Amino acid sequence: MASDIQHRPIYGSTTVPRSSNINHPVASFLRQLQSKAPNHSGQLFGFLAFFISGGILLLLTGITVTTFVLGFIAFLPIIIISSPIWIPLFLLVAGFLSLAGIVFGTGALISWTYRYFKGMHPVGSDQVDYARSRIFNTAAHVKDYAGGYFHGKQKDAAPGA
């Protein structure tokens, strides 16, 4: 009886007990059954970590929102008193950033165009060349089709001419 207790596997263990007859069909079947059994401990640990970290983030979000609201209430009189300064300052900064963006974009466009026409092959020049050839080919096909169409209509409109 004591030898039976020593060879029984511990519940949830992944080790296979050694027996005196390894090739026994029942032992082989049990080993295959244990190897295919799902192991949910990793999934359980993942859910536990998810809920703990989610709870911590929810707590930090609550603290942040509460601090923001209390700070807004405390500084509201100062914000109202100094609002004649903030609005023009905001417009000035927004205008400066817009102007800087437009100047930067224009400079990049001029630089790309210069490199393209000098044959330096800037990034995207292959797509521009492909689009230009497609537009040219389409225009040529439309011209050929329209030329034949109008030529035929002139004959129909003036059969004696």
**Residue 19 pLDDT exceeds 80:** no
Residue 4 clears pLDDT 50, i.e. is over it: no
Q: Which range, of 4-18, 34-48, 113-127, averages the lowest pLDDT?
A: 4-18
Residue 15 DSSP one-character state: P
DSSP state of 12: T
The dihedrals phi and psi of 11, each to the nearest 5 degrees, come to: -60, 130
CA-CA distance, 86 to 25, in Å (whole number)?
A: 84
User: Helix 41-81 vs helix 83-117: angle between axes, to the nearest 10 degrees?
Assistant: 120
Q: What is the pTM of this model?
A: 0.41
Residue 154's contacts (CB-CB under 8 Å, 6 or more residues apart) are 161
Percentage of the chain modeled with pLDDT above 90: 51
